[in-house]
Structures are given as structure tokens and as C-alpha cells.
Structure 1
């Protein structure tokens, strides 16, 4: 089963994120900052971890909290892309040193 289908099944009953087709494939669109319920489940978990932190967090720290193998850099790159996407949409702030903070 593909990842999007699994995510749709996991998020069933929750506010459905907006989807679109790109090159014939369904993709989830991460909305600009509004209600966190509009985010897909994995993005909501990332946002919650950053918000719970006492200060700026590294991608590695978030990965460890999510149960990812943080010793393998390749495992963290998809997470870094998600966190950067959240920053681009106004959910997080990416600092110059590569760490992330939650926007108030």
C-alpha cells in the first residue's frame, strides 16, 4: 500500500487535508498557517514536538522523539524537508543555525 493511502487511512475521521494531483499522483498540500487541524497527522506531531520544546530544536531531536534512527543522516532528511515546509508555510521558524522554533 502506498504512503498516501496509509496516511489517509490513519487520518480517517479527522479533518481531511486538502489534496491535489501533481504529475497524475495525489499529493497532500500543507496549508499556510491557520488551524493545526488542517495539517496531516505527521506534520501535527512534528509541530507538537517543536512547541513542547524549551527552546530551538534540531531535526535530530525531533527525529529521536518520533522514533527515527537519528544515527543515519538519510533517515532525517525527509523529516528536515517536512520541517522546512512547515517553516515555509509559517508554522515554524527556521533559524540561521538550522534549528527550528514554533511561531507564537
Structure 2
């Protein structure tokens, strides 16, 4: 997320970490991990499913 120019979606994070993003079911694990990190206060979740670093 820090390398991105702005807020990112779970699909973009999946592409960077090597997840097969053409299969929608493969995106659920990275999305749920991002949501868990949001619960811990690390990134921030924006409307429409975008994530960004907490400043």
C-alpha cells in the first residue's frame, strides 16, 4: 500500500503478492487479511473497498 500512488483494492494487493486475481474466490483470503489488519489499526479501509495506509 505504501508503494501505491493512492488507495488500493484487494485485487491490486493480490496482484503484487502473486494471487491469481482472475478467480474471484482467490481474492477473499487477501481481502479478509486486510480487514483483520484494519481491525488492528494498521491500514485504513475507505468506502468502496479501498485500503490505504494510516497516517
After TM superposition, the score normalised by the length of structure 2 is 0.94
Count the aligned residue pairs. Answer: 55
Q: Superposition RMSD on alpha carbons, in Å?
A: 0.6
Extract unaligned runs of 5+ from structure 2.
Answer: none
Higher RCO (Cα < 8 Å, 6 or more apart): 2
Residue equivalent to 2:26: 75
> Runs (4+) of structure 1 moved beyond 3 Å?
none
Task: Indicate the structure with greater helix content.
Answer: 2
Q: Quick check: which has more Rg, 1 or 2? A: 1
Task: Indicate the structure with greater strand content.
Answer: 2
Extract unaligned runs of 5+ from structure 1.
Answer: 1-49
Residue equivalent to 1:97: 48
